Amino acid sequence: MFEFLSLFNVNVINSSIRLATPIVLAALGAAMCNKAGVLNLAIDGKMLIGAFTGIVATYFFRNFTQVGIAHPILATYLGVLTAMVVGGLFGLFFAWMHIKYKVDLVILAIAINMLALEVTVYLMRVLFKQAGTWSDPSIVQLPSITVGWIAAIPFFGSFLTGYNMIVYVSWILAVVLSIMMYKTRFGRHIQAVGENIEAAKAAGISVQRVQYFALVFSGVLAGMAGSFLSVGHLTLFTRNMSNGRGWIGNAAALFGFNSAPGSFFAALFFGFADGIALRLQNVTDLPPYIVQLMPNILTIVILAFVSYRAKLRELKRTQQ
Amino acid sequence: MNKKLLSVVLLLFVVVGVAFSAGASEKATQTDKITVAVVMPSPLGDRSFVDSAAKGVERANAELPVQVDIIETQGVHEHETAMRSAINRGYDLILGVGLDTQMMLDLANENPDQTFGSPSELYADNLPDNLASLLINVNKSSFLAGIAAGMLTETNKVAAVCGGDAPGLNQFFYGFKQGVLEVNPDAEVFVNYLGFDFSNPTLGKESAIALYDEGCDIIYQVAGLSGEGVLAAAAERGLYAIGVDNVQDSFYPGNIITSVIKRVDNSTYDLINEYVNGTYKGGFRSLDLEDGATGLSWDVGATDFADNGPASMTAKLPEVQKTIADYRARILSGDYEVYDALTMDLWDSLK
Amino acid sequence: MKRMSKTMALSALVPLCALILGILVTSIFIFLAGTSPLSAFEVLISGAFGTTGKVWPLLITLGQATPLILTGLAAMYSFRVGVFCIAQEGQYVFGAITAAWLGVALNLPPFLHVLVVLAASMVVGGIYGLIPAWLKVKLGVNEIISSIMLNSIAALVLEYMVAFPLRADQGQKAQSAVLDRAIWLPQFVQGSRWGISFVIAITLVVISYLYIWKTPKGYELRMVGQSARFARYGGVKADPTILQTLFLSGMIAGLAGSMEILGNYHRIMTGFSSGLGFDGLSVALLGQSHPLGVVIVAILLAGIRQGAQLGLQINLHVPRELGGVLIAMVILFIAAENVYRPYLEKLYDKIHAPKKELDHV
């Protein structure tokens, strides 16, 4: 048991944070969509598209002279940006289809997830003559940034810094979104839509605008999460690279009551389960799957609890 | 009623298909050449096992009067269908690369007129006459890599990241461990199993980082595509890794000490060649160091580490290589025995 | 009467239109890969539905379609009762785990053994189907969301089971021991995978049709599906119907997993499922949640996969992913039906306009 406790050290935290980052981004996006009343199950597919466009764009920025990006790290940042734009465009497409044509988002998500999986491999074959993995030596990984004064903080310093830009952005976003949701007008509009769409409409809030924003925003985050996988954490693309992380993000959003800080910490929790699972075998004989099962089961329990409370509240209101 | 309309239309589609089929499906088999199908366990592009077999196919297509088709599969759920469809199309020889033993045996027994082969990883004692299996043992070559790791480690901690805890993979790991301990009895050898996730480089990378954090400085990867993450971690940390299957030294020159190569390309080519020359013979054969089927990337002239590695380590290389040559000679003469996880119970010295 | 026939015609036209649009878009991809789309589709179709060779491709396709028919049927039940449960994947996996476990653990006369295994997997699948239903009915948990969690739990449990308790040590893979041949489900044509499971699946399709449209229970089910509140006014209790139907749905998905193990793989390993549960969803959606539609779409999907893998890949050296692209495109166009539906309606009216006037006379 005490051996188990030895797992909680700086290295595990570092590694868990890296594993959690794509989940954090997915969860923040998913939470926003859930608030806006548009269930977005295509985050995994958009993440995969982001991973692919991220690395391909980086490659093109590096190697096409007419574009002329000589600086390798700048090219990588532009690659990440491209992935975000493409992710956002897919989000826009979703929003447009849903709001203008009343297309069912779940079915659309099933199609896009499948399409992302197949088309990325198809393009890898056609563009690069590779089927399973693609990478190019000219692509440089997103650099890790260690902020001196943070690193100097005793104890906390070592796990608060030393990551790449996307990790910091995910943290900043969590904070900014938390403030935005409670302190700004638009944030309160989103909250209102989340509570009750009809009431929000009656109060003159543009539900469409909120939903457009949520879907585009979550697309941008999914694209960024994808590029974290392909050029942030590694410098290669593999078939089905997102590997279900988008779905975990959906779960984490619910685990965190669809609030920004809640989803952030829930996603970290999922990341920690992964980080600990992969070190567990060094200290115990416990199968790693048990640790990975925990957040999943807890999510269901929490969901049940939250829904039950909501139901009770509803009952009370109708009785009055 | 509406559904009937729909069904009629869709059934029409099917019927048209059946009509089409008569002409189209026999095209590929109507060449004069000998035809061979090679069914892969997963898609091309893993830069190790599958690509190695594909290299053998390429060579056969170039050098032999044969038409070899590669059939990729997405995973275990497609293996049997792919094999059966290959049988159906009437190939002269069908190779299954790293597919399930039981399935291969069943197929061979069911289709006594069809010739099968497996260029790697088919473990069985009794094979029918129409199934030839070449098994490449990697324990001895892993042992040689272990010697290199044992001599080059500066922290006295080395590790392996293994795709899963199974005899076929432990053959790599325990051979390696024995090699490390042989030249460096004080060293600690860690292992991290990935729960049979061979296609998750993110997981591979974090596992490797976990081991580097434990103080390991050399990690042997035996994890297919997940292993790419191990190699990337070595480069990122400025530490070292040992590649597997293919010559992977050049992926991150200076960080990858050597690679344990498993010449699935040769065994694939050999099976096709034997069939073409009429020397094909069913049954089980194991290949090893002495057949050139396995070894270190240094044997085939990889010098990426010697050229790019740090001076403190490259200075030791001649001595390392000499020790390896000594052990190789002793192993080949039968003077020294290397543990084989496929056929032996675990030795106490390796626990 | 007039309006009825128009909606009927449209609900047949929409999938057809989606299919045609899907084929058109996929053709662009095929063309970009450097092949003539015409020959690609010819090869795709012959690789999927051909009737040549030792084992006809058509029969292999039917074999492949069997689990899809069942998971599609399972999803259909869920949709019909108005619950968008997407846990078929988890139910399928749990059914398969149960079969692989009991297939080895029990020692019974073969026939009885098979029956016990199938029944047990159905119960396990059914219970796994009850979880999201119960959470929805009693606590109001969104079924899509609980399904997602249940699917990932099932995937992790599968990994655990094949790596630890069910593990048969051999080679480089994590897999369970091979089942005794006596309890393998028979195939009609050796090597086609087309066997007794297919007959069971088709039987269930017929039974499902009769159950949903010809029995009082089925009527309740449809009423609940159309509107839970409306059904309650009509004297139908929605909650028990939802629970029963999702139990049934889980049983069918569990049976699919079980029959795949007994009839096909004869053991269980990670990656045996390949997302068949999710494909079941697509099948039910494309098949307009109708048993007959499910059968047709399942066969079509299995055929496209099969034809892409074996036809496109081997004959034409075209990336096999195009099969998946085609399927995804068709789903996309089904989802987007509202975009082109008005045009179809106009088209329909145009064709039928003169007749309409005639009716007036």
Task: Return the higher-pLDDT residue of C198 and C353.
Answer: C198
Partner residue facing A303 (CB), from C141, C278, C319: C141
- Answer whether residue B12 shows pLDDT above 60: no
- N-term to C-term CA, chain B: 70
Task: Return the higher-pLDDT residue of B181 and B127.
Answer: B181
Judge: A122–C29 Cβ closer than 8 Å, yes or no: yes
Q: How many angstroms separate the CA atoms of B126 and B102, rounded?
A: 12
- Answer whether residue B19 shows pLDDT above 50: no
Q: How many angstroms separate the CA atoms of A174 and A210, rounded?
A: 18
Q: Among C60, C69, C26, which residue's Cα sits nearest to residue C306?
A: C60
Q: How far is A4 from chain C (nearest CA, A)?
A: 20
pLDDT tens-place string over residues C188-227: 887 778 899 999 999 999 999 999 999 999 988 888 888 7
Tell me if chain A has a CB within 8 Å of the CB of C327: yes
Judge: C145–A251 Cβ closer than 8 Å, yes or no: yes
CA C48 to chain centre: 18
pLDDT of res. B342: 83
Query: Which overall architecture, per CATH, does domain A2-319 show?
Result: Orthogonal Bundle (1.10)
Q: Where are the beta strands (DSSP E) in chain A?
A: 133-134, 144-145, 163-164, 237-238
Partner residue facing A18 (CB), from B72, B192, B206: B206
Superfamily (CATH H level) for B31-136+265-291: Response regulator (3.40.50.2300)
- The residue-averaged pLDDT of C49-73 equals 89
pLDDT of res. B29: 46
For the ranges A174-183, A187-196, C46-55, C60-69, which has the lowest average pLDDT?
C46-55
Q: How far is B207 from chain A (nearest CA, A)?
A: 6
Task: Return the higher-pLDDT residue of C117 and B13.
Answer: C117
Contacts of B7 in chain C (CB under 8 A): 292-293, 296
What number of other Cβ atoms are within 10 A of residue C312's Cβ?
A: 25
Tell me if chain A has a CB within 8 Å of the CB of B44: yes
User: By CA distance, what is A107's nearest residue in C?
Assistant: C335
- Answer whether residue A3 shows pLDDT above 70: no
Tokens of A32: 């926003």
In contact, C354 and C69? CB cutoff 8 Å: no
Contacts of C58 in chain B (CB under 8 A): 18, 21
Task: Return all residues near A19 (Cβ < 8 A) that are at least 6 apart.
Answer: A271, A274, A275, B202, B206
Contacts of B200 in chain A (CB under 8 A): 243
Q: How many angstroms separate the CA atoms of A268 and A23, rounded?
A: 8
pLDDT of res. C192: 78
Judge: B72–A288 Cβ closer than 8 Å, yes or no: no
How many angstroms separate the Cα of C107 from the Cα of each of B134, C48, C102, C110, C254?
36, 39, 9, 8, 21
What number of other Cβ atoms are within 10 A of residue A197's Cβ?
A: 16
Q: How far is C110 from chain B (nearest CA, A)?
A: 20
- Answer whether residue B275 shows pLDDT above 60: yes
CA C63 to chain centre: 13
The two beta strands, A237-238 and A133-134, are antiparallel
Confidence class for position B1, pLDDT limits 50, 70, 90: very low
How many residues are there in chain C?
Answer: 361
In contact, B180 and B158? CB cutoff 8 Å: yes
Helices (H), B111-225: 139-152, 167-183, 201-213
pLDDT of res. B18: 45
Q: Where are the beta strands (DSSP E) in chain B?
A: 34-39, 66-71, 93-96, 115-118, 131-136, 157-162, 188-193, 218-222, 240-245, 256-262, 283-287, 294-296
Task: Return all residues near A111 (Cβ < 8 A) that are at least 6 apart.
Answer: C328, C329, C331, C332, C334, C335
Q: How far is B258 from chain A (nearest CA, A)?
A: 19
**What's the CATH number of domain B139-261+316-350, 3.40.50.170, 3.40.50.2300, 3.40.50.720, 2.40.160.40?**
3.40.50.2300
- Answer whether residue B168 shows pLDDT above 90: no
Judge: B81–C288 Cβ closer than 8 Å, yes or no: no
In sequence order, the β-bridge partners of residue B66 are: B34
List C residues 138-177 in contact with A (Cβ-Cβ < 8 A): 139-142, 144-146, 148-153, 156-157, 159-160, 163-164
Q: How far is C136 from chain A (nearest CA, A)?
A: 9
Judge: A111–C140 Cβ closer than 8 Å, yes or no: no
In contact, B336 and B328? CB cutoff 8 Å: no
Contacts of B201 in chain A (CB under 8 A): 133, 234, 236, 238
For the ranges A36-45, A157-166, C4-13, which has the lowest average pLDDT?
C4-13
User: By CA distance, what is B229's nearest residue in A?
Assistant: A234
- Give the three-state DSSP class for B34: strand
pLDDT tens-place string over residues C173-188: 778 888 888 889 988 8
CA B221 to chain centre: 12
pLDDT of res. B197: 80
In contact, C143 and C136? CB cutoff 8 Å: yes
Q: What is the percentage of chain C residues whose pLDDT exceeds 90? A: 40
Size of interface B-C (CB pairs under 8 A): 184
pLDDT of res. B27: 43
Q: Which residues of A86-112 are buried (b: 16+ CB within 10 A; e: fewer)?
A: bbbbbbebbbebbbeeebbbbbbbbbb
User: By CA distance, what is B212's nearest residue in A?
Assistant: A11
CA B86 to chain centre: 22
pLDDT of res. C228: 59
Helix crossing, C2-32 with A105-128: angle to 10°?
20
Domain edges within chain B: 31-136+265-291, 139-261+316-350
CA A52 to chain centre: 15
Q: What is the DSSP letter of B42?
A: S
Judge: B44–A19 Cβ closer than 8 Å, yes or no: no
pLDDT of res. B20: 45
Q: How many angstroms separate the CA atoms of C261 and B58, rounded?
A: 36
- Answer whether residue A215 shows pLDDT above 90: yes
Confidence class for position B152, pLDDT limits 50, 70, 90: very high
- Give the three-state DSSP class for A217: helix
pTM of the model: 0.89
Residue found by looking up tokens 């002279």 in the block: A65
pLDDT tens-place string over residues C120-144: 999 999 999 999 999 988 888 888 8
Q: What is the DSSP string of C199-222?
A: HHHHHHHHHHHHHHHHSHHHHHHH
Q: How many angstroms separate the CA atoms of C149 and B151, rounded?
A: 48
- Answer whether residue C258 shows pLDDT above 90: yes
Which of C139, C143, C278 should we substitute to test contact with A (largest number of A Cβ atoms within 10 Å)?
C139
Tell me the residue type at C108.
Answer: L
Task: Return the higher-pLDDT residue of B218 and C223.
Answer: B218
Q: Among A232, A173, A213, which residue's Cα sits nearest to residue A27?
A: A173
- Answer whether residue A1 shows pLDDT above 60: no
Residue found by looking up tokens 């366990």 in the block: B41
Q: What is the DSSP letter of C186?
A: P
Q: Please provide residue B216's backbone torsions phi and psi, each rounded to the nearest 5 degrees.
A: -70, 150
Number of H helices, E strands in chain C: 14, 0
Judge: B21–C57 Cβ closer than 8 Å, yes or no: yes
Q: How far is A115 from chain C (nearest CA, A)?
A: 5
pLDDT of res. B114: 92
Confidence class for position A182, pLDDT limits 50, 70, 90: confident
How many angstroms separate the Cα of A262 from the Cα of each of A27, A178, A204?
9, 9, 28
pLDDT of res. C248: 96
User: By CA distance, what is B81's nearest residue in C?
Assistant: C60
Which of A118, A243, A248 should we substitute to test contact with C (largest number of C Cβ atoms within 10 Å)?
A118
pLDDT tens-place string over residues B99-114: 888 889 989 998 999 9
- Answer whether residue C241 shows pLDDT above 50: yes
Contacts of B45 in chain A (CB under 8 A): 124, 130-134, 239
Q: How far is C70 from chain B (nearest CA, A)?
A: 17
Tokens of B329: 């000679």
pLDDT of res. C311: 77
Domain edges within chain C: 65-287
Burial of B151 (0-12, 13-18, 19+ CB in 10 A): buried
For the ranges A273-282, B159-168, C59-68, which has the lowest average pLDDT?
A273-282
Q: How many angstroms separate the CA atoms of A240 and C213, rounded?
A: 41
pLDDT of res. C126: 96
Task: Return all residues near C68 (Cβ < 8 A) that are at least 6 apart.
Answer: C276, C279, C280, C283, C298, C301, C302
Judge: B81–C11 Cβ closer than 8 Å, yes or no: no
Q: How far is A125 from chain C (nearest CA, A)?
A: 7
What number of other Cβ atoms are within 10 A of residue C28's Cβ?
A: 11
Instruction: Name the average pLDDT for chain C.
Output: 86
Instruction: Name the average pLDDT for chain B.
Output: 86
pLDDT tens-place string over residues A49-81: 999 999 999 999 888 766 666 688 888 999 999
Judge: C50–B18 Cβ closer than 8 Å, yes or no: yes
For the ranges A148-157, B142-151, B235-244, which has the lowest average pLDDT?
A148-157
Judge: B225–A130 Cβ closer than 8 Å, yes or no: no
Domain edges within chain A: 2-319
pLDDT tens-place string over residues A99-111: 999 998 988 998 9
Q: Among B217, B206, B231, B207, which residue's Cα sits nearest to residue B157?
A: B217
How many angstroms separate the Cα of B21 from the Cα of each of B15, C50, C53, C316, C322?
10, 5, 11, 15, 19
Judge: C159–A289 Cβ closer than 8 Å, yes or no: yes
